[in-house]
Structures are given as structure tokens and as C-alpha cells.
Amino acid sequence: MAKREIYIERRPTGDYAVRRPESERASAVEQTQAQAIQRGREIAPNAAIHVERIRHTNRGRPDEWRNP
């Protein structure tokens, strides 16, 4: 069975999309990051939640994902 994952991504409009890997559309859209994380847990309680975070560091590529 494939590993279940949910991604929380900030959209250009400022709200947050809850997505499954390789999906074209969001499963849900929430106004805050906390609400999006909660909705992701409701959609897939046993899934690993990954929250988008673009943080520029002085070493290599930007850090892109974190756990909630």
C-alpha cells in the first residue's frame, strides 16, 4: 500500500490548499494554516502531513517542507 501523505500549500491568494500528492485540484481550501492542517487530519487521519515552508538558508537549496 502506498504511503499516505497530505500537503498544505500556501496559495497566491493567501489562503491554504490541502492536497494529496500528484493531485491537480485541492481537496480543501482553508483561510489559515492551522485550519488547513486540521482539515488535512480530518481528510486522512493516518496520513503524514507536510506543510510548505520556503526558508532561504545560507547553505544550498531552500528548505521547503516541515511537519506540523
Q: Which residues of the chain have a pLDDT value below 70?
A: 1-3, 54-68
Q: Report the number of distinct structural domains present in the chain.
A: 1
Q: Output the pLDDT for position 4.
A: 87
**Pair 38, 50: CB distance under 8 Å:** no
Please provide residue 67's backbone torsions phi and psi, each rounded to the nearest 5 degrees.
-90, 145
Residue 7 is inside which H or E element, if any? strand 5-10
For the beta carbon of residue 49, count every other beta carbon within 10 angstroms.
Answer: 19
pTM of the model: 0.76
Q: Output the pLDDT for position 31.
A: 96
Please give the Cα distance from 66 to 63 (Å, whole number): 8
**Pair 15, 46: CB distance under 8 Å:** no
Q: Output the pLDDT for position 62.
A: 56
Give the residue numbers spanning the domain of 49: 5-66
